[in-house]
Amino acid sequence: MKNDLTQSNELLLQFNTARLFLAEEEEEEEEEEEEARIVVSLVDVTERKLAEEEINKSRERLRTLSAHLERIREEERARISKEIHDDLGHLLTVLKIDLHSLSKNKYIIDGNLETDINSMVEITNQLIDSTRKLASELRPGVLDHLGLTAAIEWLSLQVQRRMNINFKLNLPAENISLDFEKTTVVFRIYQEALTNIARHSGASEAMVNLTVKEKYLLLEIADNGKGISEEELTGHLSLGVLGMKERALIHGGELTIVGNENDTKVALVLPIK
């Protein structure tokens, strides 16, 4: 017979069978004789325990699948981003050069044609800018070429320019060496956190701290905007927050988000070794 203590007054018993029993201990007193007695009742919890185990296994399988799909998605994003930047960007640049050369051709005497060519050059410039933006939004090249630290700094500057939010960054002097998946996890969580700050907080300042302590990476983000509410953390519109937590959990990490009246703090702890 095996037994595991589950609570101070409960024992999980397993006899030489495939069944599990929960032994519940309860103390009673006889009113007349004033003697205490102990009553032990056995409850068959085999099905419940098997169901709990199956649920836990199912959750692990779903997280494994989610991690696999996320890696495929990020690899596809990186491939498409590179093709857009290298191939389409190159072709548009060549087109711009040809149009510019054509506009300078001394044999063009039609003023309207020259105006049309200059207009085409401007449109091509806009296409080049849009192509670069699309490629960086799919997966910024700085993340793969320069690393996580540089990517966090780059993204912070992008949000600072667009949303007029002043960022105070405390980043390592040297790049943090992580594998493809964990680099992606940290960057995507940071990206989602900045998206939430820009869209919902109304903050004017944000502080970012990225450090490595022994075997763990710590990313902390704090803003001075409207604090995130409990409903926003747990409600039906909190899919972004849920996605951040799941990303961390899949890789053995933990994400905490705490909102007060005048600020929100996000902390990611991720094992890196």
Range of the domain at 179: 142-271
Tokens 């905007």 belong to which residue?
A: 225
Binned at pLDDT 50, 70 and 90, residue 54 comes out as: confident
Residue 146 and residue 126 share a domain: no
pLDDT at 199 over 60: yes
User: Do residues 73 and 176 both lie within one domain?
Assistant: no
Query: Does residue 55 form part of some domain?
Result: no
Q: What is the pLDDT of residue 38?
A: 65
- Mean local confidence (pLDDT), 56-60: 77
The verdict on 188 and 265 lying in the same domain is: yes
Share of residues in the chain with pLDDT > 90 (%): 21
Among the candidates 120, 138, 156, a domain finishes at 138
What's residue 154's pLDDT? 92
Predicted local confidence at residue 39, as pLDDT: 63
Give the mean pLDDT of 50-71. Answer: 76
Select, from the ranges 14-18, 115-119, 233-237, 244-248, the one with the highest average predicted confidence (pLDDT): 244-248
* Mean pLDDT, residues 188-207 taken together: 89
The residue with greater pLDDT, 241 or 41, is: 241
In a domain? residue 56: no
Residue 260: per-residue pLDDT: 84
Same domain for 229 and 149: yes
Do 164 and 125 fall into the same domain?
no
Tokens of 53: 């185990």
Whether residue 205 contacts residue 172, with contact meaning beta carbons closer than 8 Å, is answered with no
Looking at the domain assignment, is residue 51 inside a domain?
A: no
Give the pLDDT band (50/70/90) at residue 60: confident
Q: Are residues 167 and 257 in the same domain?
A: yes
- Please tell me whether the overall predicted TM-score, pTM, comes out greater than 0.85 for this model: no
Answer yes or no: do 190 and 226 share one domain.
yes
Asked if residue 157 and residue 259 are part of one domain, the reply reads yes
* 182 and 257 assigned to the same domain: yes
| Number of domains the chain contains | 3
Residues 134 and 150 in one domain: no
C-alpha torsion 233→238→240→241, nearest 10? 20
Residue 24 — φ and ψ, nearest 5°?
-105, 125
Write down the mean pLDDT value for the chain: 79
Same domain assignment for residues 148 and 217: yes
Which one of 138, 167, 186 terminates a domain? 138
